[in-house]
Amino acid sequence: MFQEILNRVYDVVGCDRMYVELKLFMRYPMPGKYVPIALEDDESLSAMWLSVTQTSAMAMEVYIEQVPKEINVQSNVGYVPSMDFRDSMEVPTSAPNMQFESFTSMLSDPHYEHVDSDRDEDDDARELVDKAIKAGVPSQDWLRVDEVDQRLIDSWMTWNVTGSLTVASEFEIGQEFASLQQLKNFVKAWSISRNQMFRVLESEPTKYVIESILGDITCGDHPLISSDFVADLIEDFIRTDPSFKVQSILTVVKNQYQFSITYKRAWLAKQKAISNIFGDWEKSYQELPRYLQALKESNRGTVVYWSTIPTQDPTTHIFRRVFWAFKPSISGFRHCRPLITIDGTHLYGKYKGKLLIAMGTDANFQLFPLAFAVVEEESTEDWSWFLACIRSSVTDRKDLCVISDRHRGILAAMNEPGSGW
């Protein structure tokens, strides 16, 4: 899909691939500012569509960067001879500030004059075209929110922090912050953007006193850009797209603060952001009993079976496996075909395991979810327990046809005397 769109951009712009490479960027909303995110593949394109839907935005601005290619012919490097958008190519007579000018708005600006493509024989004209193209590339420093269409700003208001603060802002008497953590993050962003450090003299719930330390940071990595700071920076990205790439995190930090961080720190920041949004692995397992209990209470007749390992503390049990089947599935299976498909799949995360699934087939030959279980592994014991739970609480229908991948655990469980299969 991305390649098709890129090809269409080349066609609409009328740009010759031999001379110029086009790069696409979406203008992604962040608290009080926007940052450029490269559109490079289907995954990044899907993330853009998801961003539009989740922010209720009317549009996502996309920018085109023209990168002249070096070719081994007697021609000016930046010259684009076949760019004839709407039968002409319009280039600026001067080099205006292009921080927020999209490519289409550049073409429609009345201050741009027509240049005929036949002028490639004139060396002076080619040089002017080359300079114009390079001057027309949008800047990567997208912080001037005032130049954006107000309708787009309004549609992204949920992304803005109190007072629409940016790293370019100055502190003022009377500024308000939603929390102490927000104030700390703003102080860090302010210091990083000015290539400085600070020391904390006093930190209380209602009082935060700092002292600025003069002197530029000479190394490529700013000490204040910690994994916690980056996690807060990218939280909106991760909330929109949990698969947001670590390499993109490195780009965001570099573009916004002009400092580089290590891949490990960016990866750690992503894990912290995921934990902040969705909860960490330990808390997720602690919430699982409450979650399944809520399912039972809101879906009367839903079946849940636990298997845990007791500990010396009677209030603490170690998770072993859990089975559940929803009441609508149990009731509906009576009207399905006498067929069950069972299989298991890996769980990926900090804690490994397997998800066991049983599916039925309705009268319209559509899959019908029947029962689920999370177990440690696909052992004979686990499959026996899963199939026994189905027999005791989901269906006791005779002459059921079972389709499986003939896993040895499944075959052993099926052949056990008294298994009911």
Please report the pLDDT score of residue 174 as a whole number: 81
Lowest mean pLDDT among 39-48, 126-135, 195-204, 332-341: 126-135
Share of the chain above pLDDT 90, in %: 25
**pLDDT reading at 312 higher than 60:** yes
The single residue listed with the structure tokens 């021609």 is 75
Please report the pLDDT score of residue 335 as a whole number: 93
DSSP string covering 365-399: S-EEEEEEEEESS--HHHHHHHHHHHHHHT---SS
Mean local confidence (pLDDT), 311-329: 91
- Please give the Cα distance from 188 to 31 (Å, whole number): 15
Report yes or no: 62 and 103 within 8 Å, Cβ to Cβ: no
The pair of structure tokens assigned to 264 is 């490990």
Among 63, 260, 62, 34, CA closest to 167 = 34
Report for 54-63, 219-228, 300-309: range of highest mean pLDDT = 300-309
pTM score, whole prediction: 0.49
Q: Please tell me which residue, 329 or 98, carries the higher pLDDT value.
A: 329
**pLDDT reading at 85 higher than 70:** no
Report yes or no: 23 and 34 within 8 Å, Cβ to Cβ: no
Please report the pLDDT score of residue 278 as a whole number: 85
Among 69, 123, 66, CA closest to 91 = 66
User: Tens digit of pLDDT for each residue in 345-396?
Assistant: 998 877 889 999 999 999 999 999 999 999 988 899 999 999 999 999 999 8
Q: Please tell me which residue, 298 or 94, carries the higher pLDDT value.
A: 298
Please report the pLDDT score of residue 124 as a whole number: 53
| 77 — pLDDT class (breaks 50, 70, 90) | very low
- Tell me, what amino acid is at 3? Q
